[in-house]
A and B are shown apart, each in its own frame.
Chain A
Amino acid sequence: MRVPSNLSRGGLGFNMTPMIDVVFLLIIFFLVSSHMAKQEVELELDLPEAGSGQRPDEDDIRRVVVNVLPEQDAAARIVVGGRQIVTEELAQLIGFESRRKAGHLEVRIRADRTVPYRVVEPIMVTCAREGVWKVTFSVVGD
């Protein structure tokens, strides 16, 4: 039996279905991995409540997120990018990032609501010293 050639009919010679599956897989992979990356940067904390909070703008590139945990151990308190960090190292990191971003760096302080001010104050002083003027506090709405 002579099988007519597909090409002469103007159709494709192969199935599109697996291709579409692969495209969907890739899309979903990149979506999930970006979501997981964001979750690593923003730890789950009990943030303070505030009524005058604004929606954050999604400009992720020029931001350093500093998570301040309510740990008692001073070494485990400040976490940046999934890594525990001490205040001196934080000063270097903020300085480096600030120079890299040419002064447009935003430092977001995500502090648990039970963290005493004495832990957060050095972070703010460091930001002011390194020339970072855009410091924001993460809160939840009340």
Chain B
Amino acid sequence: MQFCPYRVSHHCLGMQEEQFWILLSKKITGEASPQELRMLDILLLADPSRVTMMENLEEFWNSSSPKEKAAAAQNAEEAFLNHMNRLKSAKLEADGELHPSISPFPEKKIPFYKNQLTYWLGSLLIILGLVIFFASVDKKEQMVKVVPNQAGNALNEVSISPGSRSKIQLPDGSHVWINSSSKISYSKSFSSKSREVYLNGEAYFEVVHDPAHPFIVHTAAIDVKALGTAFNVKAYPNDPTVEATLIHGSIEISRPGQPDAPKIMLKPHEKLVLNRNPEPRVSGETAKTSRIEYTNAASVSLLKRNRPDSEIVETAWVYNKLAFEDEKLKDITRKMENWYKVKITIESSRLGDYTLTGSFIKENLDEALKMLQYLVPFKYSVNGNEVRIYE
């Protein structure tokens, strides 16, 4: 049986056309019932050329853009990082009070982690720390030893060898992430009177709040005093500069042996760079920050805002990430030497002055060098622990 609606009556063509498009859209979108599909077939018999048109539309409908999908996923990843920052501050503001019933962790048991979110974020950091810790324990690269200091008091000392990182917890509950080739020491009587640690190298501190006992980090060039706060101190003896970066809370920085020198207070997301050389000179790293003050050899600058902690270059290493931003290749290879426990020589000053931004997470040395090759046209050779970079 053939049924040709176009021959039935001409004055209801408009209606029919509308009905045809509703049925066709429903078929294409998978919404049509079996009766509707049959009805559509009948309408198509009247004009078979429309079958091709329908197939084309159907193909168009089912096509998707892999490129745009990948871009959307990338965009969502970035949005998720921003979202986690907002979630963190939303929970800190609420501080468990708005939703007291939802936390399965009563404050009495875990006073430091006031609500489940901080608990959760904290555990994430601890797990991360443990991973780093065990990774380094495995290689027997972390050394904890007790040595007497000049005054005869015993000191606990933690040394991290080149190429590894570690995390420890101090007796007061504060956490310290120690970067490679660094050493932390603190007295046996830590936390009973005062909380003082000695740092040689780089470490990130998350200090338990205790106004009665200020937490002090001593380095050769600066002393950093904190109450309850998170900050990074970089004081490698061979680096030309000493740096202190504050993530949250507040810290006060003074020069040891100079009680009259003005103390510098940092606000969150500020960074202090101090030149060891008496002559002030602008360090290469200030390019990535907008400087707000410059006194003598010290400068305070503001970190880029609205970034999750793991994206901040100064603290990326805590997240097992080697990050660099607008840094010269020769400075990046210095970081890589520490990170991968190798010696890297750049045999061309032209190559060394290339400025790059990026980060390595899981890349091994060879993969990292290959990534750099995408950005800088160089050749390299690896011989044991020595890497040569040349044109």
Partners in one complex: no
